[in-house]
Amino acid sequence: MSRILELNYCPRCGHALEDREAFGRVRRFCPACDRIVFRDLKVAAGVLVEHEGQVLLVRRAVNPRKGTWSFPAGFVEFDEDPAEAAVRECREETGLEVEITGLLDVIGPEPDGAASIVIVYRARPVGGELQAADDVDRAAFFAPGEDVLPPLAFRATRVALDKWRDSQPRRV
Ligand SMILES: [Zn+2]
């Protein structure tokens, strides 16, 4: 799936769009409405759930990157608070109720990623029962050591895990 989806028709009137130079780059333009049609960002939100020095990962049961692991995450609905989206995705994918404890990182687009922006929160479990569901087929906690992590799904997964690992107290 391409990150930048083609935009062929005006979302307001349905007229075929054209290219036009505007605000410093070529953009899509509707001649019927006489207006530039700006592309929307696709925003995803997720959680790094920490528990006893370990972090929760889920294995993707769907493409892209089926069989690889990421933190619980998904797209933010257009009218949804990203923190609530992250908590919701975690509940849907792992059965765990989590509480956001802070913002870990905001990660930009990657070449074959589906999201333009991934907002990653820190969270801790506050209830529920760990069980993979929705679009993941496994959910488990992992120690932060590089050698014990399963194959990771996205650049954002690695960026977030690196940042989380760097913030951990050093172990003897
Ligand atoms: Zn139009």
Per-residue pLDDT of the chain (172 residues; tens, 9 = 90+): 333 457 899 999 999 999 999 999 999 999 999 999 998 889 999 999 999 999 999 999 998 889 999 999 999 998 999 999 999 999 999 999 999 999 999 999 887 777 889 999 999 999 999 999 989 999 999 987 767 789 999 999 999 999 998 887 765 5
Between the CA of 36 and the centroid of ligand 1 the distance, in Å, is 9
pLDDT at 3: 35
**C-alpha 8 – ligand 1 centre gap (Å):** 11
Distance 134 CA to ligand 1 centre (A): 37
Predicted pLDDT at 82: 97
Q: Which has the closest alpha carbon to 154: 100, 114, 121, 105?
A: 114
Surface-to-core class of residue 137, CB atoms within 10 Å of its CB (0-12 exposed, 13-18 middle, 19+ buried): middle
Tell me the CA–centroid distance for residue 10 and ligand 1, in Å: 5
Would the CATH topology of 1-39 be identical to that of 43-166?
A: no
Between the alpha carbon of residue 113 and those of residues 12, 27, 149, 151, 166, the distances in Å are: 27, 22, 21, 16, 24
**Residue 93 · residue 70 · CB < 8 Å:** no
Classify strands 117-128 and 43-51 as parallel, antiparallel or unpaired: parallel
> Distance of CA 154 to CAs 4, 55, 89, 158, 160, Å?
17, 16, 17, 7, 10
| C-alpha dist (Å) from residue 148 to 46, 144, 145 | 22, 8, 6
Compute the distance from residue 23 Cα to the ligand 1 centre, in Å. Answer: 19
Distance 121 CA to ligand 1 centre (A): 38
What is the structure's pLDDT at 170? 67
Instruction: Give the C-alpha separation, 54 to 29, whole Å.
Output: 49
The matching CATH number, chosen from 2.20.70, 2.60.40, 1.20.58, 3.30.70, for 1-39 is 2.20.70
Domain residue ranges in the chain: 1-39, 43-166
Ligand 1 centre from 38 Cα, in Å? 12
- The backbone torsions φ and ψ at residue 119, rounded to the nearest 5 degrees and listed phi first, read -95, 120
pLDDT of 4: 44
pLDDT at position 1 is 34
Residue 82, classed as helix, strand or coil, is helix
The whole-number pLDDT of residue 172 equals: 53
Give per-residue burial for 18-30: e unless 16+ CB within 10 Å, then b.
Answer: eeeeeeeeebbbb
Q: What is the CATH number of domain 43-166?
A: 3.90.79.10
Distance (Å) from CA 75 to ligand 1 centroid:
27
CA–centroid distance, 17 to ligand 1, in Å, is 8
